[in-house]
Amino acid sequence: MHEATIAKNIIELIQTEFPELNCKRIYSVKLRIGELSGIYPESLEYYFQELSKNTILENTKLSFEKAPIKVICAVCSTIFEIINMDYDCPNCKNSQFNIIGGDELEIINMEVE
């Protein structure tokens, strides 16, 4: 159900912005999804296709880019991303940190005609 609400919000957002895009149609929308967001792209795509029927987004393709978890080291304040479960600070090798990003969902690109 989470993804259904998100799909609905994305469709409404793009519909609101559509007149300003000054185009005939939207081919594709690329989303950036944080690893901590708990969003399943397959599920989001399903609801997007269902809910966009009979709208300007009916044949629009969705694509996704994953955003890694972003943290700040609690010792030296270096900002780094958690890749392959590597939790050590690249600067001081400490593994104490605070999460500052990775739960985002944003539209990063749209292809229009």
Q: Using CB under 5 A as the criterion, which residues of the chain lie in contact with Zn ion when the complex forms?
A: 73, 75-76, 78, 89, 91-92, 94
Q: How far is the CB of 8 from Zn ion (least distance, A)?
A: 41
Calculate the CA dihedral of residues 89, 91, 93, 99 and round it to 10 degrees: -20
Q: Using the structure block, give the residue that is written with the tokens 């229009």.
A: 112
Q: How far is the CB of 95 from Zn ion (least distance, A)?
A: 9
Q: How far is the CB of 35 from Zn ion (least distance, A)?
A: 21
- Measured from the CB atom, the residue of 41 and 101 that comes closer to Zn ion is 101
DSSP string, 40-56: -HHHHHHHHHHHTTTST
The strands making up 79-82's β-sheet, listed across from edge to edge, are 79-82, 69-73, 97-101
- Measured from the CB atom, the residue of 13 and 74 that comes closer to Zn ion is 74
- Measured from the CB atom, the residue of 92 and 112 that comes closer to Zn ion is 92
